[in-house]
Amino acid sequence: MPPQKKELTFEAAFQKLEETVRRLEAGGLTLEESLALYEEGTRLAHLCGQRLEEAKLRITQLELGLGQGASSE
Amino acid sequence: MAVYLVSQITTYLRGVLESDPLLGDLWVQGEISNLSRPSSGHQYFILKDADAQLKSVRFRQHRFGLEPLDGQEVLAHGRISLYEARGDLQLYVDFLQPAGVGAQRAEFELLKARLEAEGLFEETRKRPLPLFPQRIGVVTSPSGAVFHDIVRVVERRYPLAELVLAPTPVQGERAAPGIVAALQALHHLEGIDVIIVARGGGSWEELAPFNDETVARAIFGSHIPVVTGVGHETDFTIADFVADRRAPTPSAAAELVVPDQRELKARLEEGQRALRQLTLELITASRSHLRLAQAHLMSQQPDLSRRRQRLGELLHQAGESLRSQLALRGERLSSHGRQLAALSPTQTLGRGYALVQAGATGQAITQVSQAVRGEAIAITVSDGSFPAEVTG
User: Would you place residue A6 in the very low, low, confident or very high pLDDT band (cuts 50, 70, 90)?
Assistant: low
Dist CA A52 CA A59 (whole Å): 17
Residue ranges of the alpha helices (H) in B198-243? 213-220, 238-242
Residues of B in contact with A35 (CB under 8 A): 279
What does pTM read for this prediction? Answer: 0.66
Give B4's contacts (C-beta < 8 A, 6+ positions apart). B12
Inter-CA distances, A68 with A60, A65, B336, Å: 16, 6, 145
CB A17 within 8 A of CB A41: yes
Closest to B141 (Cβ–Cβ): which among A29, A58, A72?
A72
Output the average pLDDT for chain B: 89
Residue ranges of the alpha helices (H) in chain B? 6-19, 103-118, 145-157, 175-187, 213-220, 238-242, 250-257, 261-300, 304-343, 345-350
Dist CA B171 CA B156 (whole Å): 29
Residue B152 has pLDDT above 50, yes or no: yes
Minimal-distance CA residue of chain A relative to B200 = A73
pLDDT tens digits along B203-233: 888 899 999 999 999 999 999 999 999 987 7
8 Å CB contact of A49 and B163: no
Residues of A in contact with B164 (CB under 8 A): 60-62
User: Would you place residue A69 in the very low, low, confident or very high pLDDT band (cuts 50, 70, 90)?
Assistant: very low
CA distance A4 to chain B (A): 14
Chosen for mutation from B260, B282, B287, B289 (greatest number of chain A CBs closer than 10 Å) is B282
End-to-end CA distance of chain A: 31
pLDDT (0 to 100) of residue B222: 94
Report, as an integer, the average pLDDT of B341-360: 78
Give B298's contacts (C-beta < 8 A, 6+ positions apart). none
Dist CA B198 CA B248 (whole Å): 10
Closest to A52 (Cβ–Cβ): which among B168, B264, B271?
B264
Minimal-distance CA residue of chain B relative to A1 = B162
Closest to A18 (Cβ–Cβ): which among B142, B271, B279?
B271
Residue B88 has pLDDT above 50, yes or no: yes
Q: Which helix (H) or strand (E) holds A14?
A: helix A10-26
User: Would you place residue A68 in the very low, low, confident or very high pLDDT band (cuts 50, 70, 90)?
Assistant: very low
Question: Looking at the DSSP assignment, which residues form a beta bridge with residue B164?
Answer: A60, B137
Residue B106 has pLDDT above 70, yes or no: yes
8 Å CB contact of A34 and B268: no
pLDDT tens digits along B120-143: 999 999 999 999 999 999 999 998
Report, as an integer, the average pLDDT of B275-279: 87
Report, as an integer, the average pLDDT of A55-69: 76
Minimal-distance CA residue of chain B relative to A59 = B163
CB B182 within 8 A of CB B166: yes
8 Å CB contact of B286 and A11: no
DSSP B189-209: SS---EEEEEE----TTTTGG
**H and E: helices and strands count for chain B:** 10, 14
pLDDT tens digits along B41-78: 899 999 999 999 999 999 988 777 788 899 999 999 99
Residue B338 has pLDDT above 60, yes or no: yes
Give B54's contacts (C-beta < 8 A, 6+ positions apart). B28, B30, B46, B47, B48, B89, B90, B91
pLDDT (0 to 100) of residue A65: 66
8 Å CB contact of B163 and A62: no
pLDDT (0 to 100) of residue A5: 45
Strand ordering across the sheet containing B162-167? A58-61, B162-167, B135-140, B194-199, B226-230, B245-247
CA distance A47 to chain B (A): 10
End-to-end CA distance of chain B: 216
8 Å CB contact of A64 and B182: yes
Percent of chain A with pLDDT over 90: 15
ipTM greater than 0.85: no
pLDDT (0 to 100) of residue B248: 92
Residue B247 has pLDDT above 90, yes or no: yes
Minimal-distance CA residue of chain B relative to A52 = B160
Residue A2 has pLDDT above 60, yes or no: no
Minimal-distance CA residue of chain B relative to A37 = B275
